[in-house]
Structure 1
């Protein structure tokens, strides 16, 4: 199994001028990444607390991450899109000694010393030996939303990170020197699926920022300009890109592998993608942040799509075991499981435990094992009770997404006096709807052949595009706020 820091050091010697990271006109070679991260590591090596790395898709954010691993303190990535109040909550909880600000904006803190890119580049390098992170130390802490409103800091061991990165490289058939596209903000753990496998295999990371996502033509220009080999994104981002002109095998001859995680990969999306890239490898993966990004995979083929209405998440990766509770909640066991939530023993105790001497985690996802594959059926906490029936909203959404005119869909429970009064389907369509009343009638008629009456939404709202979160996922919360009020 290859080590991440050793691989970067190796490539800084064997291919020093190869770009390790690209973002628009900003680039960092392997030699520059190695040197700059070593310089930062010397600046922070006395710290026993993780460094907060702040910015948005700057190559220097990755300098901060690698520097933190070299300094043996670990890091916390914080994107500029995160609200100020949430950032302050993270800083108050961690009380970091250092914050690495990779933006042009001033960042002040009463708690930590703020290091800028200019200060880093102006610092004197030292030849003193760095200890380097150990396998049983925390490599990174990523903060995710908490049900109480307070973010949860998920701590991931370096061993878990190395094991995960090597596994993703094997999914990409151990190819070296490839160009990896990363859509996810670096504070979202999906980015780990692109960053570390790319660096482990001497590849180049192509960072996609929020401006490009908001202006798809910039994405089109990027894809025409760069030869991307490996695509890492949420399915929702892929759906957005499938509407771009010339995104197909004839125009993108270098595209070889697609890796999806973070959401359910829809049957229609996968079918359209394989039609456009018939010779590419398309991997559907699944995993929570608490289990180092992803723990299962399945190769999506025409045969798989022909035999499955819902795409499975596949089989667990080596070193990981999956099981179910009596309530069909998925339990993940193995080295991939997090060390727990930082400074939050109460919440950690509710979901993290030991099973046969190994770390285990209650995922909160409802799952089923069938015909050699695992399937995710939705969130345990996203079940609703309506007219005495318990149901999964994701099941209804899956049936909606099968319909020809539906590109994406979210089902919203409409509450009246504390109870679900009816269901509303919010649908992004493949083409403008001229007669919404007729379209609603047609959808209901077709759903009746697949769902009981009580699971069919009473009303539908038709939209051009469903909102996405900053991480590129469907923004279920915003849809619920707009239509569920």
Structure 2
């Protein structure tokens, strides 16, 4: 797989085809190629010295020029770091400070946003030229103005402003995505070009072939600062598809979202399971309205049986693909098609089997310098990933890198491995099941309890669509567990809560049953579309 070569082929052979569309605007493959050539040329001519080796922060939301900026950065041989406008200013400035590059590309006015939140900083801003604002020794480049002022638009020929020798090399870091860290400071996960292209060799064949994906429309729900967006963005790009991108405001109006997806004939739905579960509350979210939808591709969190069953009812002709993978292993490393037979046979939905080039070990124990001890079939352990899509570590963070990325002895040889912090098991057939985060284990009244275990069992109750369990603390000590559930059949009353407790007691020990049950209309979600546990902690 050669990302840049594939995109260039599309620009030559299908230049007028739309590559990206959102409510902000759209780009054709030829426009994407040419604008990225111009951006790459500008970067090579202007971003030099100590900035040359440092990643370039690219800021925006669902703007077509985000893709052009990503590709331009890659063609210039630089790493890019996507930052979404949904992120808090403090987090954005932390990332800019961490990457230490004096240039930030912006498709929306970040400087104006900073000054709006802190009016005292207006005095720091210097307008250098028509497309550059300088603030705190950082040059903020308005990409749209840059292209208008410096370059002429070319829509009749494929530009070659930069040499292929300038392109990012195979072992170069293609992108850095910052994820939350336990210290409160984000960790920058570094993914190389080779890891991304190894991932795409697999992702373009998931569900159906790369040839069948050509010309099809992919939903882009996740912000670019969330690696789930890599699944839809790059799978679509190298397959010759069209990205239909939905902004945050549109995502909050489900009826309007359904209308937009219908209008743009989306074929591949790519999102977190929670986002699809939220959409199920809209009656028009069905095959009757969205007859073009053929595949649901999920990643980022646990897919429940209830959500799967409802999707099968609403979209009987569509296929549901469940995948699993942390950011540190390039989006996803397992997959499985969810069928009615699978739902009947298994207690919970498995994450499937490893992709080619990846092996997932279920570790019972590991001691430095000794062969790792693997868990037996159906025995729970930590998921440890080996393979050709692993990150090279966290950007400028050797301590955190050493904690998660280790060399282990496996089958008599030393191999690099990523310790996920996720709990799971393999059955006798090698099918993998994910049980949640190991660090979501709590101790209550002397018992060790996996919160993900309770959530998994809650969603087995047929009336419950989603569930989240939060510990309630008093003076730092856990006093009880609170379960938040989403259901269109249960109410916030005594009988409903009693029913849920009784059902749970048939599946888990009594000490694990949450003392309080709260019924919600919908689950609070993060900007990435996952359940917002931090926000829910404020509700207990």
Query: TM bucket by the smaller chain?
Result: over 0.9
1:128: how far off? 4.4
User: The residue matched to 1:63 in structure 2 has which SS?
Assistant: helix
Q: Quick check: 170-179 or 352-361, which moved more? A: 352-361
Contact 1:69 1:139 in 2 (8 A): yes
Find the partner of 1:114 among 121, 140, 149.
Answer: 140
User: The residue matched to 2:364 in structure 1 has which SS?
Assistant: coil
User: The residue matched to 1:341 in structure 2 has which SS?
Assistant: coil
Q: Aligned partners of 1:97, 1:285: CA distance in 2, in Å? A: 38
**Do structure 1's residue 336 and structure 2's residue 389 form an aligned pair?**
yes
**Do structure 1's residue 59 and structure 2's residue 97 form an aligned pair?**
no
Contact 1:335 1:359 in 2 (8 A): no
User: The residue matched to 1:406 in structure 2 has which SS?
Assistant: coil
What's the CA shift string for 1:81-106, capped at 9, x where partnerless?
11111111111111114211101454
1:458: how far off? 1.1
User: The residue matched to 1:482 in structure 2 has which SS?
Assistant: coil
The answer for the alignment partner of 1:241 in structure 2 is 279
Q: Aligned partners of 1:297, 1:452: CA distance in 2, in Å? A: 31
Find the partner of 2:150 among 101, 123, 126.
Answer: 123
Find the partner of 1:153 among 188, 197, 203.
Answer: 188
The answer for the alignment partner of 1:163 in structure 2 is 198
User: The residue matched to 1:395 in structure 2 has which SS?
Assistant: helix
Q: Aligned partners of 1:422, 1:310: CA distance in 2, in Å? A: 26
1:422: how far off? 1.7
C-alpha spacing 1:153/1:431, structure 2 compared with 1 (3 Å): same
**Do structure 1's residue 298 and structure 2's residue 300 form an aligned pair?**
no
The answer for the alignment partner of 1:443 in structure 2 is 500
The answer for the alignment partner of 2:458 in structure 1 is 400
User: The residue matched to 1:65 in structure 2 has which SS?
Assistant: helix
Q: Aligned partners of 1:58, 1:340: CA distance in 2, in Å? A: 29
User: The residue matched to 2:244 in structure 1 has which SS?
Assistant: strand
**Do structure 1's residue 72 and structure 2's residue 77 form an aligned pair?**
yes
The answer for the alignment partner of 1:12 in structure 2 is 11
TM-score by structure 1 length?
0.96
Contact 2:59 2:110 in 1 (8 A): no
The aligned length equals 481
Contact 2:19 2:241 in 1 (8 A): yes
What's the CA shift string for 1:254-275, capped at 9, x where partnerless?
2111110001000010111112
Contact 2:82 2:177 in 1 (8 A): yes
1:7: how far off? 0.7
Find the partner of 1:386 among 444, 452, 457.
Answer: 444
User: The residue matched to 1:163 in structure 2 has which SS?
Assistant: helix
User: The residue matched to 2:57 in structure 1 has which SS?
Assistant: strand
What's the CA shift string for 1:304-329, capped at 9, x where partnerless?
11111200001111111111222511
Q: Aligned partners of 1:157, 1:268: CA distance in 2, in Å? A: 37
Q: Aligned partners of 1:443, 1:168: CA distance in 2, in Å? A: 39
TM-score by structure 2 length?
0.86
Find the partner of 2:209 among 157, 164, 173.
Answer: 173
Q: Mind listing any 5+ residue stretches in structure 2 that lack a counterpart? A: 113-132, 153-159, 366-380
The answer for the alignment partner of 2:20 in structure 1 is 21
The answer for the alignment partner of 1:352 in structure 2 is 405
What's the CA shift string for 1:420-473, capped at 9, x where partnerless?
22211112221462x611211111112111111101111112221121000010
Q: Quick check: 247-256 or 234-243, which moved more? A: 247-256
User: The residue matched to 1:96 in structure 2 has which SS?
Assistant: coil
Q: Aligned partners of 1:178, 1:81: CA distance in 2, in Å? A: 28
**Do structure 1's residue 212 and structure 2's residue 250 form an aligned pair?**
yes
What's the CA shift string for 1:103-126, capped at 9, x where partnerless?
145455324322211112322477
Contact 2:306 2:464 in 1 (8 A): no
User: The residue matched to 2:204 in structure 1 has which SS?
Assistant: helix
Max radius of gyration: which structure? Answer: 2
User: The residue matched to 1:468 in structure 2 has which SS?
Assistant: coil
C-alpha spacing 1:183/1:430, structure 2 compared with 1 (3 Å): same
Q: Aligned partners of 1:111, 1:379: CA distance in 2, in Å? A: 40
Q: Mind listing any 5+ residue stretches in structure 1 that lack a counterpart? A: none
Q: Aligned partners of 2:473, 2:285: CA distance in 1, in Å? A: 42
The alignment's C-alpha RMSD in Å is 1.6
Q: Aligned partners of 2:341, 2:43: CA distance in 1, in Å? A: 52
The answer for the alignment partner of 2:39 in structure 1 is 40
User: The residue matched to 1:177 in structure 2 has which SS?
Assistant: coil
Q: How does 1:129-144 map to 2 (within 5 A)?
A: 129-130=163-164, 131-144=166-179
Contact 1:425 1:459 in 2 (8 A): yes
